[in-house]
Chain A
Amino acid sequence: METILFLAHTEADGSLAKSAREVLHAAATLHKSIAGSKLVVGLVGESVQAAANSIAACPAAKYFGVVGKDFSQSRYATDAAAAEAICKTAQATLVVAPATSRWNRVLPGVAQRFGGRADTHVTGISSTPTAGVGVNRWYYRQRMEAALQRQQRPWFILIDPGSQTACECGAGTATVENVAVALPDSAMRTTVTGFHAPAADAQTIRPDAQLLFVTGAGWTKKQADGQTHVPEAEKLIRDFLQQARASLGSSKSLVDQSGEGQAVLPFLSHLNQIGQTGATPRHPKGLSTCCHGEEPHTVGWRFIAERRAINLDPNCGWARGKADVLYVADAFAVMGKMNELLAAKK
C-alpha cells in the first residue's frame, strides 16, 4: 500500500505558497487513483497550524508538523532533519513536494538517507492499475520529455511550480501531530542572514506575471543608421516592463555580453537568462524581441502558453514554428508605440 506524503514548508507568514497547493492537488489526485492508498500531510516551518487549517478539507488522513524557530530558515541541515523525521513518522512511500529552491536543495539528500530515489522538475504524475505510479520530466534542458516509473521506495517527487492546477481545498481546523526533532550542534553551523534583491521598482523577474518579455542580442546591435542605441533600448524595455508588469527574460548571448565588455543592458543579469543554460519559466503569455537562433535557444519559452515575437527576420528560427504570431518589424519602433498605448490606457 502506498502512503503518499504531501510535504510542504510554510512561508514567512505561516501560509502555504501556491506551488504547495498545486502539489497538494496532484497528491490528492494520485491518492484517488491508487486504491487503498493513504494521503498524509507533512508541514515544516516556524508555525504550521494556520497552513494546516487552510487545507483542512483535503482528503488527508493525518497531519504531521515539525515546528520551531530553527525551522523557519531555509537551511539544509535543519530542513533535512525535519523532512527525514516526518517521512519516518509517516512511513511514506511516495513523497510529493513542490520543487521550490528550499525543497530542491534538501529532498534529494533526504532520499539518500532512506536509500530512496528523487526526481525533481516533475511536470506530471499519474497512476494506473497496470503501469503503477509514473512521472513525466524533461531531460537535456527541456529538449525531450520522458515518462518513467520506479520500483524504489521512498520515492521523492518534486513537482515544478506552475505545472499543476492549485487545489481548492477548503479551510477548517486540522489536528497536527507534532514530530519532535532534536538538532545537533552540527545542524546550526549555517545561518541565513538575509536576502539580496533589487529594489522593488528595479526587480525585473516576476514569476507571477502574465507576460514574459524576452530580449535578445539584437537590442544592442547596430541599427539601420549604422549605430547602436543601447540607452534607447534600455529606456524602452524598462518602460515596457513597468507599464505591462511583465517579467524579463533574456537570451544567453545578451546576458553574456556583460562579461565580455560589450555594450550591455545594465539591468540584465544571469538571473534573467532563459534557455539552454538558463530558466524555463512558466507564464500564460510571452513576447520575444530581437531574439535569434534555433533550438536549443528556444527552450527558454518551452512552457509559455501564448507566444508572439517581433523580429526583422521573417525566417527567424526563434519564432517560426515556435510562436503563434511573428511581427516582422523594427522592435524599437513597435515598442515605442506600445509604451505610448500602455501609458494612455492607465
Chain B
Amino acid sequence: MSTAYQIVVCAGIVPDPLQTLEPVASPAGPALKNEMMLPAVLDPWASHALYEAANLAKNAPGSKVWLVSLGPKAKLQQVMMTVAQKVPFELVALDGPASGFTEAAEVAAALAEAIQAIPGLDKSKLLIFGGWESASRGAGATMQMVGERLGIVDQFQGVDELKIAADGALEILERVEGGKHQISKCIGPPALLGWATGNLPEPKNNPQVGMVNMRTVMPALQKAKPTKLAGEGLSFASVALPKQLRETRIVKDKSPDDIAKEIVEWIKK
C-alpha cells in the first residue's frame, strides 16, 4: 500500500559543535558569549530527522516535507544556505531566539502553532519528525509537547529506523537502555518521531535542489513570524563551565608490559 505522507520536520539551529562555548549573563537571562557571531548549524539530530523525512518522501510518491525552524532570521538564512542544498523541503520560519536556555514548553507552543497554520495539512497523512534531543537545551521535551498540542499520542523517541509495512503500518526502532532497540508497530499516521541517528549518511550538496528550495526559503524567511520566548517562571541561579581540571600524570618511559600491569591492577582494584 502506498501512502503519501505530509512530513513536518522540527529543527532548531545550534552553534557549530566544534566551537568553544562560554556562558554569559544577559538582561534576558543566560546566553553564550558572542552568540550571534558563532557559526551555526542545523541541530545534528534534527538533521538526521530531515534526511530520513526526505528519504521517506522520495519513496512515497506524492509526499511532501516541511522544515519548521525557530531561530534568529539572519542565522536561519545562513544555515539554510547549506541545508537547502541537501534535500527538498519547504521552510516555515519563526524569527526568535535559538538559545539552549529558552523554555521547551514555549518553543513547543510556537512550533505547534506554526505547524497548525500550514495550509492543507491532513492529520491522516501527518508525520511529525524532529531530533530526540537538541545539542543546545538537550531536554528531549519539546517534541512531546508539540505532539500533545497537535493531539498526537503515538510518539516515539530515540528513533533509529522507520519502515513502512505492506499494510501501511509504521515499524519503528527506538533506543532503549543497554544498547537495545524497542520495536513498535503503529497502525499509521498521525505519529511523532524524535530521531536519534538513523541510518542515512548526510546527503551530498546538490545545487539544483538548493535552487528549487531557495525559491521558497527566501520568502519564508521574509515573512518569518516574530516569536518571543519569555521564559516565564524560570530563573537560572547559575550557569557555569565545569572547573575541574585534572592533574594528569604523564607516563612516558614505561614498557608496554609495565603499563599493562599497572592498568590491569587499576581495573581490578
Contact = CB atoms under 8 A, between A and B. Distances in A.
B182 interface: yes
Given A147-B238, A207-B177, A105 B155 contact: yes
A150 B236 CA distance: 9
B90 interface: no
B185 A190 contact: yes
Contacts of A194: 182-183
A329 interface: yes
Interface in A200-239: 203-207, 210-211
A247 B204 CA distance: 34
Contacts of A195: 176, 180-183
B197 to A, nearest CB: 4
A100 interface: yes
A205 B178 CA distance: 6
Q: Is the interface of B mostly helix, strand, loop or mixed?
A: mixed
A74 B158 CA distance: 13
Interface in B178-203: 178-188, 196-197, 201
Interface residues of A, number: 98
Count chain B CB atoms within 10 A of each CB in A104, A310, A333 and give the residue with the most.
Answer: A104
B215 interface: no
Interface stretch (A40-48, A86-94, A166-174, A314-322): A314-322
A276 B135 contact: yes
Contacts of B242: 144-145, 302
Given A270-B160, A277-B135, A144 B183 contact: no
A142 B134 CA distance: 12
B39 interface: no
A334 interface: yes
Contact of A121 (B138, B147, B268): B138
Given A120-B141, A139-B239, A194-B183, A329 B259 contact: yes
Interface string B202-215: 00000000000000
Interface stretch (A2-10, A29-37, A60-68, A107-115): A107-115
A193 B157 contact: no
A192 B147 CA distance: 20
B263 A328 contact: no
B248 A319 contact: yes
A105 B175 CA distance: 11
A119 B140 CA distance: 9
A17 B153 CA distance: 26
Nearest to B237: A147
Interface in B242-269: 242, 245-252, 254, 256-257, 259-261, 263-264, 266-268
B256 A146 contact: no
B184 to A, nearest CB: 5
B246 A105 contact: no
Contacts of B103: 117
Interface string B150-176: 000111111010000000000001111
A191 B184 CA distance: 6
A329 B138 contact: no
A6 B234 CA distance: 22
Interface string A317-337: 001111111111110011111
Contacts of B227: none
B108 interface: yes
B44 interface: yes
A333 B259 CA distance: 10
B100 interface: yes
Contacts of A322: 246, 248
A333 B263 CA distance: 13
Given A120-B141, A189-B154, A325-B249, A204 B179 contact: yes
Contact of B157 (A105, A302, A334): A105
Contact of A326 (B45, B135, B149, B250): B250
B260 A338 contact: yes
A149 to B, nearest CB: 5
User: Which of A106, A138, A145 has the most C-beta atoms of chain B within 10 angstroms of its own C-beta?
Assistant: A145
Given A105-B157, A146-B239, A190-B184, A141 B234 contact: no
17 contacts: A101-B174, A111-B105, A118-B139, A120-B141, A139-B137, A144-B21, A146-B239, A187-B153, A190-B185, A190-B186, A203-B178, A207-B178, A276-B17, A285-B267, A310-B259, A325-B249, A329-B259
Given A152-B232, A276-B135, A329-B251, 16 more contacts: A74-B176, A74-B182, A104-B140, A105-B144, A108-B139, A112-B145, A117-B234, A139-B100, A143-B241, A144-B240, A145-B242, A193-B184, A195-B176, A195-B180, A308-B263, A334-B256
Interface of B: 14-15, 17-18, 20-21, 23, 30, 32, 44-45, 100-101, 103-105, 108, 135-142, 144-145, 147-149, 153-158, 160, 173-188, 196-197, 201, 232-242, 245-252, 254, 256-257, 259-261, 263-264, 266-268
